[in-house]
Amino acid sequence: MPHLTRREYRAGQRRRLWRPVEALRRAVTAGVARASTWTTAGMIRVGFITCAALVLVMACWLGWRVITVKNDLEAAQSALGGSGDISDRIDEVGVRAASAAAAADDPIWRGAEFIPVLGDNLRAVRVSAQAVDLAVNDVALPILAAQDGVGTDDDTSEEGLLTQAIPVIQTAAPAAAAADEAVTAAAASGFLVGPVRTAIDTVQPVVASMDTALQLAPSLLGADGAKNYLLVFQNNAESLPLGGSAASQTLISADDGALSIVKQANSGSFKVKPSVDVDVDQSAIDLYSGYLVSHVNTAVGRPDFDTAAEILTAFWNRDIDDTRIDGVISINPLVMPGVLDAVGSITVDGVELTSDNVVQILLSDAYAWWGSSATEAKKADAFFAKVASTLFDKIATGDFAPVKMISAVSESASNGDILVWSSDPTINDLFADTRASGVMPTDNTDETVMGVYFFDHSGGSKIDYYMDSAVALSSECSADTATYTATTTLSLDITQAEADDLSAYVKSGNWGSAMTRTGVYVYGPPGTTVESVSVDGVDVDVLSTDIDDLGRPVAAFDLNLAPGESATVTATFSGSDVDGGPLTLWSTPMVNTTATTVNDGC
């Protein structure tokens, strides 16, 4: 049997659904032709029976279509989350989504949408099914089909995956905008029953994100002119508020979907003096010192990626070249397991990196192999650069599993492991108040965010590979006062003997293996002030409690830890007008995930 196009499939579905209606119409017409011999009462009785039969047929038909849509959408969801080859599962989702969209797109269904209450639910189901159909069959599958041809013997073009994806995106964008509008309107109904409400609330943010992504993607990929992005690699083994030392940068060009590495640099490529000419709030300098603008490694030392992006761009344009930077993207090694799960293992200088070992190799093993001296450290930098370029080549050519890659990127962005800044305000607005923006919310409307950030003050160590952290947040509210508390514990989980055996590059630049010093910066919610602080540890210093930064009060501490030691600090904030969303923690992404508890009493 020849493969049907989606248009032919839907046309066939419409012909099938009209058959019982057409049969009923012929029967009624035949009955009317005999009506000349009937009495008035008989005609009324027949008319009533005919109408009742028609309503019954339509109700049965509609019920069957609803069941069809329900079963198809449930099957699609099951296929997407199932096991086996992802391509086969996506194909199954596409078939089910098309079937659900076709079942919901018939005259009887649409006519029933005018029925009060019932109609709102039918409309919500229809637009949800059509949105899923669009996402899978008009976007995902065509891009997967393009990917299947890239790099094969049948591929005679020089275009990469992203170049071939641009026309698909541009074609689907208007339909995505319409789907977003329709789903948003349907979701606004106050009459949706539980399962329908759950379904459309799940679909709505996905469709909204798809709409925005499809509108912006061509420009981001250089469809309207080449774009330049500064990719910054943060090293979590040397913790800084936004992740870790920003010692490695790569300039990437995107030109009509073709990605290429233009230039790479590391901390040795940048000058220390004078400081870059960036206007930074005095509160940031007071908290984090002039190193924020004098050393490229610590440009991410304030928990605000807008600030970091401006400083990093200034460093690049001053010391490397004057290329216009259209965006700054930061990643750290914690992103790598998910990315390698999508890409597959890579081999660099005879070392195989997999999703299981990549974090250990990049943040620990590499410093055991190299790093005991400045010369050896350059070998580590060269290795890191090769890892970045090897991985980039696989991604740029489309050699990865798209669904796994999307999942990895989404999870990393939600954890703050991927941060994004753009010179385009529209793109920045897309990420506003999300972890991917690296900018804490300026109010408590959606979430009451508290920030707990870590800064390695040991003098260029990489000791945080061995650091454990825990943060407990709590809140209490009365009629006129809200109180918020953050209790933070750091533990250096290594013995003295193990610390002594570490590479000199890993040990504290100031104290060797004897001690490490970590700054803890606790940001209270907007509208509060520091009420009190307390410390529990052998050697803990309170640095500041009277500085406001980023529109928030800050309590800052230094925790001095010898191998095997722990220390705890507590900061309490209070305010009289802090009514907002649920209590949430934003914190530095650590190599060992921070243990977090939240007790929201408000």
> Which one has a higher pLDDT value, 408 or 150?
408
DSSP H or E segment with residue 352: strand 351-353
Tokens of 529: 């002030």
Q: State how far the Cα of 62 lies from the Cα of 125, in Å rounded to an integer.
A: 13
pLDDT, average across residues 578-593: 92
Over residues 416-425, the pLDDT tens digits come to 999 999 999 9
Q: State how far the Cα of 286 lies from the Cα of 465, in Å rounded to an integer.
A: 28
Kindly tell me if the per-residue pLDDT of 562 is higher than 50: yes
What pLDDT, on the 0 to 100 scale, is given for residue 156?
40
Kindly tell me if the per-residue pLDDT of 279 is higher than 80: yes
Q: State how far the Cα of 313 lies from the Cα of 79, in Å rounded to an integer.
A: 44
The structural domains of the chain, with segments of one domain joined by +, span: 6-220, 227-419, 443-600
Q: What percent of the chain has pLDDT over 90?
A: 53
What pLDDT, on the 0 to 100 scale, is given for residue 431?
86
pLDDT, average across residues 362-379: 79
For residue 127, which phi and psi values (nearest 5 degrees)? -70, -30
DSSP H or E segment with residue 170: helix 161-187
For residue 424, which phi and psi values (nearest 5 degrees)? -90, 115
Helices 118-133 and 40-80: crossing angle in degrees, nearest 10, is: 40
What pLDDT, on the 0 to 100 scale, is given for residue 460?
82
For residue 347, which phi and psi values (nearest 5 degrees)? -120, 125
- Cross-strand bridge partners of residue 255: 258
Over residues 436-445, the pLDDT tens digits come to 999 999 999 9
What pLDDT, on the 0 to 100 scale, is given for residue 345?
93
What pLDDT, on the 0 to 100 scale, is given for residue 59?
62
Q: How far is CA 206 from the centre of its chain?
A: 12
Kindly tell me if the per-residue pLDDT of 54 is higher than 60: no
Q: State how far the Cα of 399 lies from the Cα of 46, in Å rounded to an integer.
A: 68
Over residues 201-259, the pLDDT tens digits come to 888 888 888 888 888 889 899 999 999 999 999 999 999 999 999 989 999 999 998 99
Q: State how far the Cα of 113 lies from the Cα of 102, in Å rounded to an integer.
A: 16
> Which one has a higher pLDDT value, 136 or 182?
182
> Which one has a higher pLDDT value, 268 or 84?
268
Kindly tell me if the per-residue pLDDT of 17 is higher than 60: no
Q: List the beta strands (DSSP E) in 188-244.
A: 227-235
SS (H, E, C) 38-102: CCHHHHHHHHHHHHHHHHHHHHHHHHHHHHHHHHHHHHHHHHHCCCCCHHHHHHHHHHHHHHHHH
pLDDT band at 161 (very low <50, low <70, confident <90, very high): confident
Kindly tell me if the per-residue pLDDT of 77 is higher than 80: no
What pLDDT, on the 0 to 100 scale, is given for residue 157?
45
Decide if domain 227-419 falls under CATH 3.10.590: no
593: phi > 0 → left, psi -120 to 50 → alpha, else beta; which? beta
What pLDDT, on the 0 to 100 scale, is given for residue 39?
59
Are 227-419 and 443-600 equal in CATH topology? no
What pLDDT, on the 0 to 100 scale, is given for residue 155?
47
pLDDT, average across residues 58-73: 69
Kindly tell me if the per-residue pLDDT of 529 is higher than 90: yes
Over residues 174-211, the pLDDT tens digits come to 999 999 999 999 999 999 988 889 888 888 888 888 88
pLDDT, average across residues 274-291: 96
What pLDDT, on the 0 to 100 scale, is given for residue 543?
95
Which residues are CB-contacts of 285 (< 8 A; sequence separation ≥ 6)? 292, 293
What pLDDT, on the 0 to 100 scale, is given for residue 8?
57
Q: Considering the chain, what is the average pLDDT of its residues?
A: 85
> Model's pTM, two decimal places?
0.81
Q: Which residue has the tokens 């408590």?
A: 444
pLDDT, average across residues 38-66: 59
Kindly tell me if the per-residue pLDDT of 91 is higher than 80: no
pLDDT, average across residues 126-134: 89
Q: State how far the Cα of 315 lies from the Cα of 321, in Å rounded to an integer.
A: 9
Q: Which residue has the tokens 């004098």?
A: 294
Sheet of 258-266: strand order equals 258-266, 245-255, 227-235, 327-331, 418-422
> Which one has a higher pLDDT value, 47 or 456?
456
pLDDT, average across residues 347-368: 93
Q: State how far the Cα of 446 lies from the Cα of 433, in Å rounded to an integer.
A: 9
pLDDT band at 6 (very low <50, low <70, confident <90, very high): low
Q: What percent of the chain has pLDDT over 70?
A: 84
What pLDDT, on the 0 to 100 scale, is given for residue 53?
57
The two beta strands, 482-492 and 540-549, are unpaired
Q: How far is CA 550 from the centre of its chain?
A: 23
Domain 443-600 architecture = Sandwich (2.60)
